[in-house]
C-alpha cells in the first residue's frame, strides 16, 4: 500500500515537474536557487513586474547544501548564488555555463575591485551579489585595550571571553595569517606550523557559533568575537559599543555571486535577472535589507550616510583582504586538526 501510494506520489511529482517544464517553454520563468535571507522579496516582485518573467525561488543554508542539490538535480536551476570558493570548485568541475555579457550591460556599475578575482579571473562565470568579511568585534564597554589583530584577541587577556565562528577552515586561516603564511595554499607543512598557534588559541575560546555569533556578544557572555561582517553590522546597529575591526594580519573576504549552472533551461532569463539587480536603485534595496558590502559602485552613491558609516559594512582604510580558493580534499585534514585540538583541550 505504502509503496503504491509512494509510486502514485512519485508519478504525480514527475508529471508536475514536466508540467513545470512545459510551462517554462510556454511562459517565461526563472528558477532561482539562492541563500535564505539574502534576496529581498520586493526585488523579485519588481523583476517580475518589469519583465513578466515568473520567478520560482528555492533556498539553501550553505554552499555545501547547494552543491549537493545542484549535482543531484542538474538542469533544474537557472541561477545559483555560490560563494567564491564554490564558484571555483564548480568551474573546475565544468558545472557552470559562461555568461553572455552582452545581455548584462549593467555590469559596468560594479566596482572593479570586486570583479575578475582569482576564483573567476576572466569574470566569465559569475557576477558579484554582495561581499563581506570576517573580522573582529569588540565590546568596547568591556575591553579598554586596543585590539587590532588575531594576536591581540588571543593574547591571553580575553581568555574564555571569546566567540569565534564554528568553521574549521576559517579558524585555520586566521592562524596561517598570523604566521604570515598563505591562506589558500595549505600544505601539511603549513598546517604543522599552525598547530602550536591553534593549540594556544583554542583553549581561550568560550563559544563556537557560526549561525548567530552575535548572541553570545549581546548576552554579555563574551567580550570579543571573530564573526561575519553582516553579524557585526547588526550588532553595531543595535549598540555602537560593538566595534568592528579587520585584523591587521589579513582577513577573509567572501564574495557571494550569481552564476548559471550548465544545462540551465532559461539562461537568458537568468541573465536578465542579473542585469536587473545590477541597476543601482534595485541594488540599494538589497543593501537596505542585508547590510553587507555592496560591490555596486553606482548603488553605493545612493546609500545613506548611516549605511556607509557602518564600519562592518564598509570598513575604513585599506585593509588586507583575501578571498578563499577551493582547497579540495585538504578540507578533511583541516577538520581533523581542529577536532583534534578542540578535543585535546577538552581533556
Residue of 211, 217, 216 lying closest to 239 (CA atoms) = 217
**CB of residue 112 vs other proteins: minimum separation in angstroms?**
30
What angle separates helix 280-289 from helix 267-277, to the nearest 10 degrees?
A: 80
Burial letters 88-126, b for 16+ CB under 10 A, else e: bbbbeeebbbebeeeebebbebbbeebbebebbeebebb
Secondary structure string (H, E, C) spanning 270-339: HHHHHHHHCCHHHHHHHHHHCCCECCEHHHHCCCCHHHHHCCCCCCCCCCCEECCCCCCCHHHHHHHHHH
Q: Which is nearer to other proteins, 39 or 66 (CB)?
A: 66
For other proteins, the closer CB: 1 or 306: 1
Min dist CB 71 to other proteins, Å, is: 6
Q: Is 332 in the site for other proteins (CB under 8 A)?
A: yes
**Which of 106, 168, 173, 296 lies at the binding interface for other proteins (CB under 8 A)?**
168
CB of 55 or CB of 194, closer to other proteins? 194
Main-chain phi, psi angles of 163, to 5 degrees: -115, 135
Q: For residues 54 and 342, which CB has a smaller minimum distance to other proteins in the complex?
A: 342
Looking at residue 340, what DSSP letter applies?
A: H
Q: Which is nearer to other proteins, 156 or 317 (CB)?
A: 156
x-or-dash string of contact with other proteins, 259-298, rule CB under 8 A: ----------------------------------------
Q: How far is the CB of 196 from other proteins (least distance, A)?
A: 14
User: Among 101, 126, 128, 104, which Cα is nearest to 114's?
Assistant: 128
Q: What secondary structure does DSSP assign to 151-183, as a single string?
A: HHHTSSTTTT-EEE-S-HHHHHHHHHHHTT--S
Which C-beta is closer to other proteins: that of 41 or that of 219?
Answer: 219
Q: What is the DSSP letter of 256?
A: E
User: In the bound complex, what is the minimum distance in angstroms from residue 97's beta carbon to other proteins?
Assistant: 17
Which one among 15, 18, 62, 155 touches other proteins, defined by CB under 8 A?
62
Q: Does 345 sit near other proteins (CB under 8 A)?
A: yes
Cα dihedral sign, 14-18-19-20: positive
Give the footprint of other proteins on residues 91-120 (CB under 8 A).
Answer: 92-93
User: Does 316 contact other proteins by CB under 8 A?
Assistant: no
Q: Does 2 bind other proteins (CB under 8 A)?
A: yes
Residues in the site for other proteins, rule: CB under 8 A?
A: 1-3, 6, 62, 64-65, 67-68, 71, 89-90, 92-93, 160, 163, 166-169, 205-209, 215-216, 219-221, 326, 328-329, 331-332, 334-336, 339-340, 342-343, 345-347
Amino acid at each position: 500500500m505504502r509503496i503504491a501510494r509512494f509510486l502514485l506520489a512519485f508519478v504525480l511529482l514527475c508529471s508536475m515537474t514536466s508540467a513545470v517544464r512545459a510551462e517554462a517553454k510556454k511562459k517565461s520563468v526563472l528558477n532561482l536557487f539562492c541563500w535564505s535571507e539574502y534576496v529581498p522579496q520586493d526585488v523579485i516582485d519588481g523583476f517580475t513586474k518589469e519583465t513578466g518573467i515568473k520567478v520560482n525561488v528555492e533556498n539553501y543554508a550553505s554552499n555545501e547544501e547547494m552543491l549537493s542539490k545542484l549535482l543531484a538535480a542538474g538542469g533544474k536551476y537557472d541561477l545559483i548564488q555560490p560563494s567564491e570558493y564554490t564558484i571555483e570548485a564548480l568551474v573546475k568541475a565544468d558545472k557552470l555555463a559562461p555568461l553572455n555579457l552582452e545581455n548584462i550591460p549593467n555590469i559596468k556599475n560594479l566596482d572593479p575591485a570586486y570583479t575578475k578575482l582569482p576564483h573567476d579571473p576572466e569574470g566569465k562565470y559569475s557576477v558579484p551579489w554582495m561581499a563581506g568579511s570576517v573580522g573582529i568585534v569588540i565590546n568596547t564597554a568591556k575591553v579598554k585595550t586596543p585590539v587590532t589583530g588575531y594576536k591581540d584577541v588571543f593574547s591571553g587577556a580575553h581568555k574564555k571571553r571569546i566567540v569565534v565562528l564554528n568553521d574549521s577552515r576559517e579558524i585555520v586561516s586566521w592562524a596561517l595569517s598570523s604566521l604570515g603564511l598563505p591562506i589558500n595554499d595549505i600544505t601539511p607543512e603549513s598546517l604543522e606550523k599552525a598547530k602550536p598557534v591553534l593549540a594556544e588559541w583554542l583553549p581561550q575560546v568560550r563559544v563556537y557559533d557560526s549561525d548567530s555569533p552575535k548572541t553570545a556578544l549581546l548576552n554579555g557572555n563574551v567580550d570579543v568575537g571573530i564573526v561575519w561582517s553582516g553579524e557585526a553590522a547588526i550588532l553595531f546597529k543595535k549598540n555602537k559599543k560593538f566595534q568592528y575591526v579587520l585584523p591587521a594580519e589579513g582577513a577573509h573576504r567572501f564574495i557571494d555571486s550569481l552564476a548559471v549552472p550548465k544545462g540551465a533551461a532559461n539562461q537568458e532569463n537568468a541573465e536578465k535577472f542579473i542585469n536587473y539587480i545590477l541597476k543601482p536603485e534595485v541594488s540599494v534595496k538589497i543593501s537596505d535589507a542585508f547590510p553587507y558590502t555592496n560591490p555596486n559602485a553606482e548603488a553605493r552613491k545612493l546609500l545613506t550616510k548611516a549605511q556607509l558609516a557602518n564600519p562592518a559594512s564598509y570598513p575604513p582604510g585599506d585593509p588586507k583582504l583575501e578571498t578563499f580558493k577551493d582547497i579540495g580534499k585538504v578540507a578533511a585534514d583541516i577538520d581533523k586538526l581542529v577536532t583534534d585540538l578542540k578535543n585535546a583541550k577538552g581533556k
